[in-house]
Chains A and B, each alone.
Chain A
Amino acid sequence: MKSIKLRLGIGILLSISAVFILLWLAGSHSIRLLVVEQMSTRLMHDSEGLLAHLTFDTAGQILLDPSGIDSIYQRPFSGHYYIIHSGTVRLRSRSLWDSDLALPSEQSLQTRQLHVQGPQQQPLLVLQTIYLKQGNTITIAVAEDLTMLEQQISRFHYWFGLVALAVLALLVLLQVFIVRVGLSPLYRARQQITELEAGKRNALDYDVPTELQPLVHEINKLVSRITQRLQRSRNALGDLAHALKKPLTVLAQLNQDECLHNCNDIRKQMEYQTSDIQRSIDHVLKRARLAGEGPPISQFSLQHDLPALLDTLARMYPQKEIASSLAVDDHERVPFDREDMMELLGNIIDNACKWARHKVLLDVDISDSVHIRVQDDGPGIDEHNLRQLTARGTRLDEKTSGHGLGLAIAEDIVRQYSGSLSFTSTRQFDNGLCVDIHLPLRHDSDNSGTE
């Protein structure tokens, strides 16, 4: 049983049911006690009433004054009966008609309560008392039918049960509601974690119940630690690149030194080697710096970062025209890392600008996934090389038909985001290259389906 909701529900249901059963039992028991107690008090009065109307004649024969007898004792099987017993005389109420009550003989001067089966299967409560009057022992047993009482009690059982069931149903509904409300911070936190993963937020809200606070705190700490670590390693790599490039720059400059003007071979070798080192550093470091999927440090904004990038490219290539069209519904931000996207788009568009004669077209289409298409009106690439570029698993290295390091880095970025990169001949212009990039967008609904 893994669901907290189910566990809480069953626990609450069981405990409420137990309370109701107990209440039901205790209720009916105490009502019966109360009624029997009241009934026996009444019977006691009746018994004492009978005693008051008993006299003895001179022969010691017991006599009952008929005026002292309640009419209820006269109606046959009325449910109210008495039996007076003294010596050999046994007086029965008229209501008993021709039946008798089987009563135990009593010795001690005590009042006893008995449950006896009466005429017509009536369950009777019998109060048997022994009195001493004018030196004679008199046993008076007064009985009353319990049928009405039993009926009332079973009616009580029925109604109580009915009401209890209704209340129980109400309580169950209420507890479902309470549990749902009580667990809503958990759902919210889960929702936020999904968003966190999709890169839609940077941290979980602290506005949660105290029980969840430590969890949220830990998750936030973890996220910020990951972010910091990524930032730190990026910075470290940037510093390393910086540190390596300084001596490389000096070496490249040394190459131009006049002393080397006569040693063309050495110069060429040095130039080749230094540029080789530089390319390797660039490639490895840039790949290492990619953030890839996960919570991005800062997201790429179509409203700010894309125009800034296009502005930069326009300044770098003042003679070329870069036209862009965006088909974006509500995705102001795409959940991709800003630096990665800058690097990807920068490299692809830069490459297009380099080869374009006049014009570069950029299309960004975001619906279920991100589709980026960059076309140029440059010389393009022949069929054979295109196939090689597009072939799966083929690494685009820096030697491929002059479409330098930039495309290789772009390919690395696309792969990090589980996307695809393909090259075709453009249909927009007479010739020229068309680069298509597809990047999948992760949706929240993908994760929330796992209830």
Chain B
Amino acid sequence: MRLLLIEDDITLVQQLKPELERCGFAVDVSHDGVEAEYLGNEAIYDLAILDLGLPKRSGIEVLRNWRKHDNHIPVIILTARDDWHERVDGFQAGADDYLGKPFHSEELIARIQALLHRVHQQPAGLLKADGLSLDEEAQSVRLDSGATYTLTNTEFRLLRYFLLHPDKPLSKMQLSEHVYELDADKDSNVIEVYVRRLREKLGKTRIETRRGQGYVFRSRLT
């Protein structure tokens, strides 16, 4: 899952970014409204965390512009302005969630996960597919056979993306876009390596290779 963190407070970003990455999110940061609006329209982000008091263009305006151009990227507003009328204005502008500062990073992460589940029509709690469940806290996968595997960060990111997009062909390009940051060295061969590692743990049939299309994660094993 790739997040766009839009926040002009450098100190906060320095603290928050590693925290989010540790929880298996690829994070790109934008410090001003104009750049943020442009990046948000790139369609490579699964979610945006938006501060309202931004230089150049206010967060509300950025959000309104996205929604006006039918950009439905899930947005969590993260702001010190948490009066009720501001909260209402935020939701009216098209926000999906709203968190007042100061906040605990656990709460932000919980809300990100809840929002991602909601957007991808997955129930709250563990991410499940036929025969396996993914614990996002522990970054571990548990199979119905009883085996539990702790995943590396990249494996976790990849599996979560598969779980949120089951039964859809996903290209290597797309996978790497949603697993890595903007400035990371993207080599699609690396995806192959990680898919192979996941297959070793989950079984060969779970992730199907489709020639020319990429991979399909199968929610049901027949």
Chain B: number of interface residues, binned into ranges: 20 to 34
Cβ–Cβ < 8 Å partners of A253 in chain B: 12, 15-16, 19, 105
A257 to B105 CA separation, bound complex (whole angstroms): 11
Q: Does A309 contact B (CB under 8 A)?
A: yes
Cβ–Cβ < 8 Å partners of A315 in chain B: 91, 96-97
A257 to B19 CA separation, bound complex (whole angstroms): 10
Q: Does A343 contact B (CB under 8 A)?
A: yes
A32 to B26 CA separation, bound complex (whole angstroms): 117
Q: A342-B88, A343-B83 are in contact. Are A254 and B101 (CB under 8 A)?
A: no
Give which listed residue, B11, B53, B98, B105, contacts A242 with CB less than 8 A.
B53
CB distance from A210 to the nearest CB of B (A): 41
- Secondary structure of the A side of the interface? helix
Cβ–Cβ < 8 Å partners of B12 in chain A: 246, 249-250, 253
Cβ–Cβ < 8 Å partners of B38 in chain A: none
Cβ–Cβ < 8 Å partners of A278 in chain B: 102
CB distance from A439 to the nearest CB of B (A): 17
Q: Does A89 contact B (CB under 8 A)?
A: no
Q: Does B57 contact A (CB under 8 A)?
A: no
CB distance from B104 to the nearest CB of A (A): 7
Q: Are B105 and A309 in contact (CB under 8 A)?
A: no
Q: Does A397 contact B (CB under 8 A)?
A: no
Q: Does B92 contact A (CB under 8 A)?
A: yes
CB distance from A107 to the nearest CB of B (A): 111
CB distance from B210 to the nearest CB of A (A): 36
Give which listed residue, B53, B84, B96, contacts A347 with CB less than 8 A.
B84
CB distance from B109 to the nearest CB of A (A): 11
- Give the nearest-CB partner of B78 in chain A: A249
Q: Are A346 and B53 in contact (CB under 8 A)?
A: no
- Give the nearest-CB partner of A255 in chain B: B104
A253 to B102 CA separation, bound complex (whole angstroms): 9
The 8 closest A-B pairs by CB, nearest first: A346-B84, A245-B80, A249-B102, A342-B85, A253-B15, A342-B84, A312-B91, A252-B102
A residues sitting closer than 8 Å to B (CB atoms) are 238, 241-242, 245-246, 248-254, 256-257, 274, 278, 286, 289, 305, 308-309, 311-312, 315-316, 318, 338-339, 342-343, 345-347
Beyond known contacts A248-B101, A250-B15, A312-B92: 15 more, CB 8 A cutoff: A238-B83, A241-B80, A245-B101, A246-B9, A249-B101, A249-B102, A250-B11, A252-B104, A257-B15, A278-B102, A289-B83, A311-B88, A339-B84, A345-B84, A346-B85
